Amino acid sequence: MKKIIFCFIIASLVFGETKKWDAHSAYLLPQKRWEMGLFQPFRYGYSETIEYSVHPLWFFVMPNFSLKKSQSDFAGFTSASQYKIVYPTPFLNMIAKEGIMGIIAPDFQMPPMLGLSASWLMSKNMSGVDLTLKGGLDLGFAFGDLDTRSTIDLPLVYHRLGVYYNNWGFHTGLDVQKNISEKIGVLVDADLRLLPGLNGNYSLEHKLLLSWHKSENFRVLTGYKFVMGEYPYGSDMRLLPYIPIFETWVPMIEFQWARKKQ
Amino acid sequence: MKKLLSILGVLLLGCDPFVTEFEDLSNALMYEADSKSNETYDSGNVKVVTWNIRFGIARFPFFGDSCGDDVILDDDTIEKNMAAIADSLNAIDADIVLLQEVDVSSKRTGYMDQVQYLLDNTNLNYGCYASMWKADYIASDGIGRIDAGNAILSKYELTDAERIQLRLRTDQDGLTQYFYLRRNIVKAKIPALTQGAKDFYAVDIHATAFATDDTKQQHIDKYVETLAEIQSSGNYFVTGGDLNSVPPGSEFDYCLLDMCPDEKYEDENGNEIDYHSIDSLTSGPHKEGAYFNNFDGERDILLPLYEAYDAAIDSVDANLPIHLTHGPSTSYEMNDIKYDRKLDYLFTNGIWENTLSKTHQAAWELSDHLPVSAVLNVGGE
């Protein structure tokens, strides 16, 4: 069960930042509409100005909550602020173990940790292309002795958890989305994470996804994610999803569903 | 089009293997000291040492090879241990150093490049390295990223360095084998030591420790074959390493000595069984790496080497207490044993100055293996 949860969480990091249905734009979900995917969090339009999201499976091992609030338009861009809170300690202690799936050495007991993130998002449609700019500050608090040897030095993971070792960091990014037909859309994004002072202080993630909108309530996505960055052992890059034993990249496939609560 | 090709190139680079596998024969990775000492060989004897340095963790109770349960040592202690190893090598003042279990980019040792460190902190100038375990991530026991292997260091320039793959274990399932060690022999030419028309080679090996099938026999056979090729070509070699084999006539069962408190043997179905009793040596089950009679002939597996070449410590003396080279890292704390068997050897097809061969047992705190050194009588027949 732990293996399944871990694989799911890793997959979620790859799949979890698709845009429209607008997860990472400044646009909010319509009131009472919910969306979720195999690997995406559950999102809900609470009101015309507030949307919240939570990853239901993660929640039991890594409690998390995110809130997006619409803001006044800025320079012609639709704007929103987003706030996230996450408590990763239970999950990290699950994988600090002996034997298979011991991702962190059992020497280490992970202390209580809290991650906070605040972002500003600005979106605009320009000549049929949806453009979103975003940026923000990440804070990580460890309430106890967090040993620097307990890092997980893997793409996607190292820099997301790096904020707990560095206490703070920045993130910024750009999303571009265009519908190339009534049913088919394409999304390209790039996200930069900076952790000034950390040994392995940046990562750049890029994603390209094609989406097929079967209806308002269901769509399928496929594509890749590319990650490059600096790690404690040096620079590295990886195309994801990657299957180690077969030593090959495979396209990601994601199914997403949506409904409007009556 | 160029842009597209560049993008494709970057994406393909992102597809480096997660676990590195090797061809039967490949190039070793070459090193040089940042600042080389001015060593030129003119004549005289050549001192050689072999040492399994246990990736600089000294007697740390590592989970994988002793009764410890720790995985990652702190950077300061690694640095201190490596400095002590460098000091020992400088004190021995060898011309050629054959190393086993050297980390060059491993989570467990703070990603220190230990080959480069030793070159930069000893009187050795050149090195070559061959990985035996290289993976982006070992998702077991928190090992994480790993790159560990064998290295040859030398005062004189190394050329034609080769990594010779040894057969993988066959007593593991496919998944375990994929993430497991790929042991090798590393071989390099040392042009400065050429004697007339005879080239001079250094050959370093780390044979399997834990296999319970015939993998060890395969490794020693490949080693013997590699040395025979050099010999039949009319060239010289010095060779050695951690053969993970005991000398002929040695004790061969260390199961009960190496057994950890309350440790049981686990069969393929996960059932726990007691190891054999001391008076039932052959019945098993045996502890991996502690029993040297897993197949017919294993107790005499090194005889072909002793018969064909000159051993730094000859077979008559090899089992004397002063020549023992290994004790698991926790055996001192558990049983007051610093070293109890010989696993590390030096051979040549030339001639050693036998009175100068030495097992450096004072270095027992720096690894679970001890260095063995010998002096080659260059030009001796």
**Cα–Cα distance between A262 and B96 in angstroms, integer?**
80
CA gap A206, A156 in Å, rounded: 11
Query: Quick check: A152 and B71 CB within 8 A?
Result: no
Element holding B179 (H helix, E strand): helix B174-179
- pTM comes to 0.91
User: Which residues of chain A make contact with B19, given a CB cutoff of 8 A?
Assistant: 244, 247
- Contacts A93 to B, Cβ<8 Å: none
Q: CB A102 to CB B74 under 8 A? A: no
Tell whether B282 is covered by a domain: no
The token duo for A100 is 């298979």
**Whether B183 contacts B147, CB under 8 Å:** no
pLDDT at A14 (0 to 100): 47
Task: Say if residues A160 and A229 touch (Cβ distance below 8 Å).
Answer: no
- The ipTM estimated for the assembled molecules is 0.88
Q: Do B71 and A106 touch (CB under 8 A)?
A: yes
Whether residue B213 is contained in a domain is answered as yes
**Gap from B61 CA to chain A (nearest CA, Å):** 11
* Candidates B15, B63, B145; nearest CB to A153: B145
Residue B23 has pLDDT above 90, yes or no: yes
Give residue-wise pLDDT tens across range B85-103: 999 999 999 999 999 999 9
pLDDT digits (tens, 9 = 90+) for A118-153: 999 999 999 989 999 999 999 999 999 999 999 999
- pLDDT above 80 (res A8): no
Structure tokens belonging to residue B363? 């270095």
Q: Cα–Cα distances in Å, from B358 out to A154, A253, B90, B320, B370?
A: 44, 62, 15, 12, 10
Interface probe, candidates B137, B146, B263, chain A, greatest A C-beta count within 10 A: B137
Confidence (pLDDT) at A257: 93
Average pLDDT over residues A158-176: 97
Look at residue A231 and tell me whether its pLDDT is greater than 70.
yes
Strands (E), chain A: 33-37, 42-45, 50-54, 64-74, 77-86, 113-126, 129-142, 168-179, 184-194, 202-215, 218-231, 234-240, 242-243, 248-249, 252-260
- Count CB atoms within 10 A of the CB of residue B7: 11
Using alpha carbons, select from B325, B328, B326, B317 the residue that is nearest to residue B359: B325
Which pLDDT score, from 0 to 100, does residue A1 have? 52
Domain with residue B118: its CATH number is 3.60.10.10
Domain membership of residue B112 as a residue range: 28-252+292-376
**Type of residue at A31:** Q
Q: Which domain holds residue A117?
A: 2-260
pLDDT at B277: 57
- The C-alpha atoms of residue A84 and residue A115 are separated, in whole angstroms, by 8
Q: Which residues of B touch A110 (CB under 8 A)?
A: none
- What is the per-residue pLDDT across B347-358, written as a single tens digit (0 to 9) for each? 999 999 989 999
**Does residue B187 lie within any of the structural domains?**
yes
Average pLDDT, chain A: 90
Half-sphere exposure of B181 (CA within 13 A, CB side): 19
Q: What is the CATH number of the domain that holds A23?
A: 2.40.160
Cis amide leading into A30 (omega within 30): no
Token pair in block for residue B13: 């680079």
Q: What is the pLDDT of residue A21?
A: 61
Task: Name the domain count of chain B.
Answer: 1
Q: Give the residue carrying structure tokens 């006044």.
A: A72
Is residue B306 a part of any domain in this protein?
Answer: yes
Each residue's pLDDT tens digit, A191-213: 999 999 999 999 999 999 999 99
Contact B19 A239 (CB under 8 A): no
Task: Quote the number of domains for chain A.
Answer: 1
Higher pLDDT pick, B271 / A217: A217
pLDDT, residue A15, reads: 43
- Chain B CB within 8 Å of residue A204 CB: no
